[in-house]
Structure formats: C-alpha cells, structure tokens
C-alpha cells in the first residue's frame, strides 16, 4: 500500500518473493492495474494469490486473474461484495459488472475521509458496534455523515439493520479465500 507506507513493491520483487515457501499471496493496493497485471503474469506458475486491497479495483483485478478482495465495503454490504466476487470467479462478468456498478457509490463513500472513519460511522449507523476512531483521527463531520446516510439508504442490508437498531440480528462475517 504505497499510499500508507511510502513504498511500492515492484512486480519483479514480488515474483521473487512468491517463490519463497512462506509467502502465499499479496494484498495489492498500489492502484496501478498495469502493475497488478504484471504481478499476476509473473506469478501465474506459482501457488500465489493476488488479492485486491482496493474495493474499486476488485473487479478489474479479478478479471486479470486475482482471487478476491480484502474489503472495506464488505463490512457494510457483505452479501453483494461476496456475490460480485463469486460471479467474477465463475466468469459471469455481466452479473459481476452490474454488482460492481451497484456497489460503486458505497466504494466511494468508504473513502470520503481517512480510513477507517467512514466505515466505522457506517456500521454505527447500521446499529452495529464499530467502536470509536483512535487518535489522532476524529469523527466524521456532519456533512459527510449526511452524505454517508444517503448511500446507506440505498443498501438493502443497511436499511434492514438500521431499522432494527442494535437489537437487529447481525450477520456472521463472510470470509472466503480461494486459490488458483
């Protein structure tokens, strides 16, 4: 994640690392689809997973041969995120693309402020325990919270939980890792 670490692991280095027995994959969040493509090309003969670290790029990365996502948006709308990844994994690109575009407003809303501020606010608004943000982060401001509420109002699972409040039935988190 060059945006957080100030470092980018180049595809050639990742290909070398992929040959080591204890390294089974990478969370790819460089934002560079060309780099992702090169990593997959260089590691396609290895038992090595390339997993999207950016919700917006999950579908393109899976189209290149990536295996899924470590997702922020799935904390808010896990069913549709899983459905998108499963559709892409099965080669149902029409369904995956429709879900990608349906989820795109949520993807953008999760980064209207520094992560994890928006996702914590979203799950709080849905009646789940997100907990406070840690210092030096601050709460989401009123305007961004209002914008986030508009997005949440379009998400079936969010509406259901928000209507039920904290007494609503919480779904178990979905974790699915597939290997090529």
The predicted-structure confidence for 125-172, as pLDDT tens digits, reads as follows 998 888 889 999 999 999 999 999 999 999 877 766 655 544 444 444
- pLDDT tens for 58-109 read 999 999 999 999 999 999 999 999 999 999 999 999 999 999 999 999 999 9
Query: What is the length of the chain?
Result: 180
94 half-sphere exposure, CB direction, 13 A CA radius: 0
Contact yes or no for 129/123 (Cβ under 8 A)? yes
Contact yes or no for 67/180 (Cβ under 8 A)? yes
Spatial CA neighbour of 51 closest among 24, 70, 37:
70
Whether the bond between 142 and the residue before it is cis, its omega within 30 degrees of 0, is no
pTM of the model: 0.83
Q: Can you tell me the distance from the alpha carbon of 55 to that of 76, in angstroms, rounded to the nearest whole number?
A: 12
Q: Can you tell me the distance from the alpha carbon of 162 to that of 165, in angstroms, rounded to the nearest whole number?
A: 5
Contact yes or no for 69/52 (Cβ under 8 A)? yes
- pLDDT tens for 17-72 read 999 999 999 999 999 999 999 999 999 999 999 999 999 999 999 999 999 999 99
Residue 45 structure tokens:
């003969």
User: What ranges make up the beta strands (E) of the chain?
Assistant: 25-28, 49-52, 68-69
């Amino acid at each position: 994640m060059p945006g957080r670490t100030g470092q980018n692991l180049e595809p050639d280095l990742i290909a070398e690392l992929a040959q080591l027995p204890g390294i089974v994959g990478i969370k790819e969040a460089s934002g560079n689809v060309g780099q992702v493509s090169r990593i997959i090309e260089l590691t396609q003969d290895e038992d090595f997973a390339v997993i999207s670290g950016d919700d917006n790029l999950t579908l393109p990365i899976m189209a290149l041969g990536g295996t899924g996502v470590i997702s922020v948006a799935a904390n808010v709308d896990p069913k549709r995120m899983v459905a998108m990844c499963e559709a892409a994994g099965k080669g149902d690109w029409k369904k995956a693309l429709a879900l990608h575009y349906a989820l795109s407003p949520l993807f953008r809303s999760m980064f209207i402020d520094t992560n994890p501020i928006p996702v914590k606010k979203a799950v709080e608004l849905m009646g789940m325990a997100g907990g406070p943000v840690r210092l030096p982060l601050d709460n989401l401001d009123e305007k961004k919270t209002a914008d986030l509420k508009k997005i949440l109002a379009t998400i079936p699972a969010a509406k259901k939980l928000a209507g039920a409040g904290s007494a609503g039935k919480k779904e178990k988190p979905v974790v699915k890792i597939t290997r090529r």
